[in-house]
Amino acid sequence: MTRFIDMPGVLSGFVDGNRTRTASAGIDPARYDKVTSALPDLRAWPAAFVRTARELRESGENREAALWFHFATILPHPDRALLGEAAAEAHALTTELGEQVEGDGFSGLLRRPDGAARPPLVVVIPGMDSDRTEFLSVGDALLAQGLAVLAIDGPGQGALAAVSPPDPAYHTVVERALDALDERGFGAVGTLGMSLGGFYSAMAAAHGTRVRAAVCVSGPYRLHWDELPPFVTGTLVQRTGSEAAARSFAGRVDLRGVAPLIVCPLRVVDGDTDVIPGVENGERLARYAPDAEYLPVPGGDHLVANRREAWLPGTARWLADRLLSAP
C-alpha cells in the first residue's frame, strides 16, 4: 500500500490544508509559505520544519520555534526518531511558559492567570496528530478570562507517541492529570478538546467526576474506518502500531451511548465547511447530550482555525461563566 506521504499530488493539498491551522497556532504565514514552497515532496517536511525551528530558537523566538518543532511531527512519516526528537524539542521550549506536570501516561503544561488565588482550571486536550504545544493560543484566550490552563498530552500524543498508542478511554488520563493537581488549589474544572481531542473531552465529561463544563471543537461523534481519508488512516496505523489496532481504535470512537451521560453544560463547535469522509461531526453529540448547545461557524474549516474570532473569545467566556458559578 502506498504511504500517504508518497501519494501522487499530495504535497500541495497538505500544504494548503494546514495553512490556517499553523497560522492560528502562531506560525508566521509568510515564513510557512516560504518553507513549504521549497519542499520537493512530503518526505522533506519534517527536516525542513526542524531546521526552521532551530533557526528561530537561535534568534530567541522560542514560542514560534516550539510550534515549528511540533508541526514537524504531524505527518505519518517513517522517520519516527526525528518526529520524537522534534516533539521533545517543542516541549523543552515551552518550559518557560508554565510549569511542567508529569504523571502516569500524561505530560502537561500548567499556566495560571495573574492574580487569581483559586482560579477554575480548564484541561486543553489535543487530537490525533497534535500535541499540547499547538494550542498555546487557545490557552491564551482562557487565561485572559481568569482561567488556569493545563494543556496535556496523553497516549499517542506529542513525545508520548513514541512510547504509547492512543487510547479511546482518555477520561482516565484526564482523571490522573487532575489527581496530580489535587493540592494546587484550583476551582471548578472544565475541558476543551480540539479535533479528536473533542471526542476525548466528551469522554472526560461523561465519565469523569469533576468536569463541570466541556467544549468539543471539530470533534468526531463517530468514525467509519473504510471511509476515512488516507492521512487519517495512515496516522492512526502509525500511532497504534498496526492496521488492526487502528481499526479497533476507530471503532471505539463512538459517542452514541456516551452523549446522554454528559450532564454538565456542553458546547459543541464545528466549522460548517469541515466535512471529512468517514467522520460524523458534533451535531449529533449536541443533539443527544442533555445540556448542550451547538455552534456551527459559517465558513469555518477543521479546528475552525480560519474563524477563531467567531468562536474562541466567546467560548472562553462561556467556560469562565459556567466554571466561576459552579459549586
Q: What is the pLDDT of residues 118-154, one digit of tens each?
A: 999 999 999 999 999 999 999 999 999 999 999 999 9
Predicted pLDDT of residue 185? 86
Closest CA to 166 of 73, 81, 83, 240: 240
Which CA distances in Å does 288 have to 52, 194, 203, 261, 294? 45, 20, 14, 9, 11
Predicted pLDDT of residue 175? 96
The band of 1, judged by pLDDT with boundaries at 50, 70 and 90, is low
Predicted pLDDT of residue 162? 84
Residue 8: exposure state from Cβ atoms within 10 A (0-12, 13-18, ≥19):
exposed
Predicted pLDDT of residue 116? 79
Structural domains in the chain? 1-93 (no CATH), 98-324 (3.40.50.1820)
The answer, yes or no, to whether residue 184 has pLDDT greater than 90, is no
**What DSSP line would sit under 79-114, residue for residue?**
-HHHHHHHHHHHHHHTGGGSEEEEETTEEEEEE--T
The answer, yes or no, to whether residue 200 has pLDDT greater than 70, is yes
Predicted pLDDT of residue 209? 84
Predicted pLDDT of residue 327? 76
Query: Chain-wide mean pLDDT for the chain?
Result: 96
- The residues, ordered by sequence, that sit 6+ positions from 7 with a Cβ below 8 Å of its Cβ are 230
Predicted pLDDT of residue 235? 96
- The one-letter code for the residue type at 7 is M
Q: How many CB atoms lie under 10 A from the CB of residue 182?
A: 9
What phi and psi values does residue 195 have, to the nearest 5 degrees?
Answer: 60, -125
The answer, yes or no, to whether residue 169 has pLDDT greater than 90, is yes
Predicted pLDDT of residue 87? 94
Express each pLDDT in 209-263 by its tens digit.
899 999 999 999 999 999 999 999 999 999 999 999 999 999 999 999 999 999 9
Which pTM value belongs to this model?
A: 0.97
What number is the average pLDDT over the span 51-64?
97
The band of 28, judged by pLDDT with boundaries at 50, 70 and 90, is very high
Pairing of strands 99-103, 106-111: antiparallel
The answer, yes or no, to whether residue 179 has pLDDT greater than 60, is yes
The band of 36, judged by pLDDT with boundaries at 50, 70 and 90, is very high
The band of 115, judged by pLDDT with boundaries at 50, 70 and 90, is confident
Q: For Cα atoms 65, 314, 204, give the angle at the middle one, nearest 5 degrees.
A: 75
Backbone region of residue 165 per phi and psi (left: phi > 0; alpha: psi in -120 to 50; beta: other values): beta
3-state secondary structure of 48: helix
Contact 194, 137 (CB under 8 A): no
- The residues, ordered by sequence, that sit 6+ positions from 267 with a Cβ below 8 Å of its Cβ are 213, 214, 215, 216, 292, 293, 295, 315, 318
What number is the average pLDDT over the span 275-288?
97
The answer, yes or no, to whether residue 265 has pLDDT greater than 60, is yes
